[in-house]
Amino acid sequence: MNSAKDRVPLLMADLDRLYPQSQTELDYRTPLQLMVAVMLSAQCTDKRVNLVTPALFARYRTAEDFATADRGELEEFVKTTGFFRNKAKNIQNACRVLVDKFGGEVPKTLDELLELPGLGRKSANCVLGDAFDTPGITVDTHVGRLSRRLGLTRKIDPVKVEFKLMALIPQPSWTDFSHQLILHGRRVCHARGPKCEECTLAHLCPKVGVAKKS
């Protein structure tokens, strides 16, 4: 098997064929809505998030609205996405910072986004890539798992995975590459019982045929 660096161009070509117009499946209209949706998506399916956001965004429209909302009421809106106390608190505190420090707008740089409580690197890069067209590698559970299976890294630490992928993937492709790995993780390369038989990336994958047992 070739080195990771040699396989990356082939991998990218296959992913482009497989998932030509990849994008987030979260529903949103504004950067603020995307920020909130991304915060709700932790340990929760996008589909579930999209079930709660219509009512949520109808009730709260501005960062000020979220910041001054009744905590209990906000919790009820986001309850079914799990971690609802943390999520409601983080959304509220993040929006408080938006109002106090960023004029009520979602900032457009990674460093500023990371100042918002509840927004980690994964979510910040999501907002950058999807709302502001700024390339970012988003290392979630899928991107981490697939990167390891595909032999792009052996690291567990999401930050190390992120930097390894940044070195491996051309910057303009960072956002698309992330979405493509996520889609492939959801549809084929599952955490448990990956469908290696029907995986079109199998010829690039060192893991195929190796201990896929339990």
Partner DNA sequence: ATCCCGAGGG
Partner DNA sequence: CCCTCTGGAT
Residues that bind DNA (CB under 7 A): 23-26, 38-39, 41-46, 48, 79-86, 90, 117-124, 126, 138, 140-142, 145, 156-157, 179, 182, 185-186, 190-192
Active site residue 155: no
- The DSSP call for residue 205 is -
From 87, 122, 130, 164, the catalytic residue: 122
Is position 126 annotated in a ligand binding site? no
Taking CA atoms, 84 is separated from 56, 81, 89, in Å, by 13, 7, 8
Active site residue 140: yes
Minimum Å gap between C-beta 111 and DNA is: 13
Q: Exposed e or buried b for every residue in 142-171, given b needs 16+ CB within 10 A?
A: bbbbbbbbbbbbebeebeebbebbeebbee
Sign of the dihedral defined by the CA atoms of residues 199, 202, 205, 211, in that order? positive
Minimum Å gap between C-beta 76 and DNA is: 11
Select 117 or 206, whichever has its Cβ closest to DNA.
117
Which helix H or strand E contains 100, and what residues bound it?
Answer: helix 84-101
Q: SS3 for 118?
A: coil
Select 79 or 203, whichever has its Cβ closest to DNA.
79
Select 6 or 100, whichever has its Cβ closest to DNA.
100
Minimum Å gap between C-beta 24 and DNA is: 3
Minimum Å gap between C-beta 6 and DNA is: 26
Is position 44 annotated in a ligand binding site? no
Backbone angles phi, psi at 69, to 5 degrees: -65, 155
Ordered DSSP codes for 5-60: HHHHHHHHHHHHHHSTT-------SSHHHHHHHHHHTTTS-HHHHHHHHHHHHHH-
Select 9 or 82, whichever has its Cβ closest to DNA.
82
In the chain, the amino acid numbered 55 is: A
From 87, 130, 140, 176, the catalytic residue: 140
Catalytic residue annotation: 122, 140
Q: Which residues are annotated as a binding site for [4Fe-4S] cluster?
A: 189, 196, 199, 205
Please state the residue numbers annotated as binding site.
Answer: 189, 196, 199, 205
